[in-house]
Structure 1
Amino acid sequence: MTSICFQSVSQEGHLMFGFTQKTETKNTADVQLDTMKAILDHVDNMILLCDTSHENNVFYVNQTAKAVFEKYRQEMTQVLRGADPSTAHGGSIHRFHHNPERVRRILQDLGSGAKNATHVADIPLGSITLRTKAYPIWDAADPSKVKCYLACWEDITSKVKHEELQKNVASKADELHEQVSYIAATMEEVSTSIDEVAHTTAEASTRGNSAFESANEGQVVVEGAVRGMRDVATLVRTTAGVIGQLNTQSDKIGVIVGVIKDIADQTNLLALNAAIEAARAGDTGRGFAVVADEVRKLSERTAKATAEIGELIRSIQIEIERAVGTMNSGEKDVTTGEEKAISAEKALVRIVQDVGAMRNLIGEISSASEQQASSVRDIAQRLEVITSQQP
Structure 2
Amino acid sequence: MASATLEVRALNSLGLPKPPAQTRVVVAMSGGVDSSVVAAELKAEGYDVIGVTLQLYDHGAALAKKGACCAGRDIHDARRVAEAMGFPHYVLDYESRFRDAVIEEFAESYLAGATPVPCIRCNERVKFRDLLETARELEADCMATGHYIRRLEGPAGPELHMAADPSRDQSYFLFSTTREQLEFLRFPLGGLKSKDETRALARKHGLVVADKPDSQDICFVPNGNYAAVIEKLRPGAAEPGEIVHVDGRVLGEHRGVIHYTVGQRRGLGIGGLEEPLYVVRLDVDARRVIVGPRALLATRTVPVEGVNWLGDGPFTARSEWPLSVRVRSTRPPVEAIVRPLSETRAEVELLTPEEGVAPGQACVFYETGGSRVFGGGWITRH
Q: TM-score surpassing 0.5?
A: no
Bigger CA radius of gyration: 1
TM-score by length of 2: 0.20
More strand by share: 2
**TM-score, with length taken from structure 1:** 0.19
Structure (1/2) with the larger helix percentage = 1
